[in-house]
């Protein structure tokens, strides 16, 4: 009985893990999982100093120095809980290139192999 309960619990833990991996960037249609945060840029308000771009691209495979968001170089990049690359971009620089009512932001970069990639997300923009 204890063995079957342990197996059942382990099954739920594994299912939960795979569900979170499958849906980590479920709000974006981008094949690379590019998701910009915040989803609404308010031009007249400080929103924390950075625009964060999440991906479904393995951190270990990316040349972080190559990351750009609509041509704006990355301030810094780090790894998320799933091992994917996350880029942080200067909020003021991003807001300087967008206008209401929305903007499509494109993350570009290179893999350590030299292969390039690009993925986009659309955010709302308010004055």
- What is the tally of structural domains in the chain? 1
Quick check: is 18 in a domain? Answer: no
Here the CATH number for the domain that contains residue 62 is 2.60.40
The DSSP output letter for 60 is: G
Q: Would you say the C-alpha torsion 66, 120, 40, 93 has a positive or negative sign?
A: positive
Please state, in angstroms and rounded to a whole number, the distance separating the CA atoms of residues 16 and 107. 29
Quick check: is 33 in a domain? Answer: yes
Quick check: is 116 in a domain? Answer: yes
Quick check: is 15 in a domain? Answer: no
Quick check: is 7 in a domain? Answer: no
pLDDT per residue rounded down to tens, the chain (127 residues): 544 444 333 333 333 333 333 334 456 788 899 999 999 999 999 999 999 999 999 999 999 999 999 999 999 999 999 999 999 999 999 999 999 999 999 999 999 999 999 999 999 999 9
Quick check: is 45 in a domain? Answer: yes
Instruction: Give how far Cα 122 sits from Cα of 92, 98, 113, Å.
Output: 18, 11, 28
Its domain, for residue 101, covers 25-126
pLDDT digits 0-9 by tens, 55-70: 999 999 999 999 999 9
Q: Which residues make beta-bridge pairs with 68? A: 73, 108
Quick check: is 20 in a domain? Answer: no
Q: Which residues make beta-bridge pairs with 58? A: 84
Quick check: is 2 in a domain? Answer: no
């Amino acid at each position: 009985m204890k063995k079957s309960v342990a197996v059942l619990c382990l099954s739920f833990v594994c299912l939960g893990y795979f569900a979170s991996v499958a849906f980590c960037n479920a709000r974006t249609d981008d094949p690379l999982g590019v998701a910009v945060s915040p989803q609404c840029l308010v031009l007249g308000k400080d929103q924390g100093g950075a625009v964060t771009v999440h991906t479904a691209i393995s951190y270990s495979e990316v040349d972080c120095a190559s990351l750009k968001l609509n041509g704006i170089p990355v301030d810094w990049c780090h790894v998320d809980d799933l091992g994917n690359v996350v880029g942080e971009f200067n909020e003021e620089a991003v807001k300087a290139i967008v206008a209401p009512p929305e903007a499509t932001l494109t993350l570009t970069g290179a893999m350590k192999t030299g292969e390039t990639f690009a993925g986009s997300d659309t955010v709302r923009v308010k004055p």
